[in-house]
Amino acid sequence: MPGRFGTGRWLWLVFFAVAACLIAEALQRGGALDTVDQRLQDFWFQWQGKRAEARHVAIVALDEETLAAYPDDPMVFWTDRLAVAVARLRAVGVTVVGLDMLLSISPERWLGKLGGDLRNAARDYDRPFREQVNSGQLVLASTRSGAGGRESDYLLPSPDYLLALPGFDIPGHVALADLLDEGDGVIRRYRVAPVARAERAPLEGSIPVLGLPALVAVRVAGLDPHAASWMLGGRQVLREQPAELIPYFGPPGSFPGISLRQLLADDALRDPAVTALRGHAVLIGATAAGLNDEHFTPYATRLFSGRGTLMSGVELHANVLESLLSGERLQPLGAGARGATLLLLATLAAVVFVTVPVWAGVLLWLVNLFVLSAAGFLAFRAGLLAPVAAYGVATAIALFSGLGWRLSGEERERSRLRQMFGRYVSNQVVEALLKSGKRPQLGGQTQMVTVLFCDIRNFTTISERLNAREVVEILNTFFERACAPLLAEGGSIDKFIGDAIMVEFGSPLPLADHARRALRAAIMLRTVARDFAVWMTERFPDHDLPKFAVGIGVHSGEAVIGTIGSKTRMEFTAIGDTVNLASRLEGMTKEIGCVILASESTIAAAGGAVVCGRSQVIRVKGREEAVRVFEVLDVEAGE
């Protein structure tokens, strides 16, 4: 019977949690949950609206206003205007201009085909534009069709413009303006190098390699576009890195910019909107609806029907470029962290779902979905992508596994015992009761125990030099480490009192060697504190914190064990002189100058295996009788 209600129960819970974690992780890695996560992320973009201000990038828009100003001119003859625009941008302090327009034919070649006087008249038509190309401050656009393993897969700018490139360096001055469509028509991710290295390797040097935003970013930073990686926006960017989610800065229209017509005006260099472009990277591209360069982004998706506003290609590239220059990114949770959180959630779900009624479990899971979505949105706002769909799957598997298990006769018996004792004692005590099959006297009983108090020294000073979040982080991290040896020695963690821990050994179930267990746990706590001091130094190197240390007091004797409290709130705890003296001994450790201080009764109860240091007789506040105490150095193995 004890095994059925103790170890067996936990083995089943561990099995459910691990199985749920593994299944959810497999579905996540296999891409089965991508659609759910993508739609959630789309809605998060929509809910957040404008996420941040663009500080590095601006757009010069070929918009309806510009087209209306030159209604009779074919686009092939716009290179003279583009040359003026680029020259004026350079004059106001724009270092690099990206042209998000494919100029696959030049006016000179187009008119040259007609021959005669037109050919001679067009001979120098493009000279100003070629001069801008030759400056090295203008990045041209190209595109591709197919896999990109053949030269014929690439549609490049006109040879007239390629010949004007500095050093005829195509990879250094011509970029790919292709967007990454992963199947549903929505542009969510980008690649630094749109064509895989294996495909383009035979053509290296003669074709564009980097995407338009990446090449402009590298040029703005003054780095070598032929390098394998770059430091951009405070982080390392690899040429061959996998596709990353575009951290859109806001819905369509969020990026600063001006109309191309405004830049072509005679007084453009005196226009504050033009001079405000100083220090920006500028992309020139089409935003007019009639030019068919609009795309679905997360802001255009809808849950049931319809669509939102589409985003122009140049603004889409601007989002990627701004993210590269600013370092803004949406970082997926790493595999290790994802696995750990999946296991944690699955474990919590398994524990919760086997302790509540069936209807409550289903309701909790539904609430859990909303909580996970809200938590995922908060993480998203902080730049972290949580696998919400995998979390939902893992908790669902834990739920249904727990429901199936609870149909067994063993679980019905477990529920009966929980109804009897769950109202009066903590979960930890309930588990001990279930494992033993015994019924303690809930009204209170006298029992021989050893009480251990552990307190963090100089905690007030530490807390004054840290913020609230850091203080909580310290407590949670230390308590997590400290609880392991206490539980390993069979201690019952009674409560956490601020920065102190109160533990009983020999409660709620008697233990013959409770004193020795308590001293062994104290020795392990001392080691935990030493290791934690190293963690503190590494975690807060510049806060001038006092060295982390603890004081531990241990005393053995009779205590009253039972439920204390009111009808609405009760706890299973120990009270009496034994508890008070253990607390006083912990407080005396700093005065005596030791880490572990145990009473004579504890040393005697532990037998001859305790290695002691100093010993003295002390008086403690609130107690008339003097007490002999011992500094505990070690507990020898054996017995």
Residues contacting 379, CB < 8 A, separation 6+ = 385, 386
pLDDT band at 4 (very low <50, low <70, confident <90, very high): very low
- The CATH homologous superfamily for domain 441-635 is Nucleotide cyclase, GGDEF domain (3.30.70.1230)
DSSP secondary structure string for all residues of 12-34: HHHHHHHHHHHHHHHHHHTTTTH
Position 422 scores a pLDDT of: 45
Domain spans of the chain, in order of start:
2-46+332-416, 57-291, 441-635
The pLDDT of residue 616 is above 50: yes
pLDDT, average across residues 62-67: 90
Lowest average pLDDT, out of 1-10, 52-61, 392-401, 568-577, goes to 1-10
CB atoms within 10 A of CB 101: 22
b/e string for 168-184 if b means 16 or more Cβ within 10 A? eebbbbbbbbbbeeeee
In 493-599, which ranges are continuous DSSP H helix?
Answer: 514-539, 577-592
What is the percent of the chain with per-residue pLDDT over 70, rounded to a whole number? 89
Which residues, in sequence order, are bridge partners of residue 187? Answer: 181
Position 15 scores a pLDDT of: 82
Tell me the pLDDT tens digit for each residue of 347-389: 888 887 777 777 777 888 888 888 889 998 999 988 888 899 9
Using CA atoms, how far apart are residues 25 and 22, in angstroms rounded to an integer?
A: 5
Position 88 scores a pLDDT of: 94
The pLDDT of residue 441 is above 60: no
Element (DSSP H or E) covering residue 347: helix 335-353
Tell me which residue of 52, 90, 631 sits closest to 322, measured CA to CA.
52
Phi, psi of 417 (to 5 degrees): -65, -35
Q: At which residue do the structure tokens 């859990």 appear?
A: 368
Position 304 scores a pLDDT of: 59
Position 13 scores a pLDDT of: 77
In 407-513, which ranges are continuous DSSP H helix?
Answer: 409-421, 427-436, 459-464, 468-488
Using CA atoms, how far apart are residues 7 and 516, in angstroms rounded to an integer?
A: 24
Using CA atoms, how far apart are residues 347 and 399, in angstroms rounded to an integer?
A: 10
CA triple 593-492-339, angle to 5 deg: 100
Lowest average pLDDT, out of 142-146, 263-267, 271-275, 632-636, goes to 142-146
Using CA atoms, how far apart are residues 516 and 635, in angstroms rounded to an integer?
A: 8
Position 426 scores a pLDDT of: 44
pTM of the model: 0.60
Tell me the pLDDT tens digit for each residue of 98-122: 999 998 887 777 666 655 555 565 6
Position 356 scores a pLDDT of: 73
The pLDDT of residue 623 is above 90: no
Structure tokens at 297: 């982004």
The pLDDT of residue 52 is above 90: no
pLDDT greater at residue 317 or residue 415: 317
The pLDDT of residue 620 is above 90: no
pLDDT, average across residues 544-553: 93
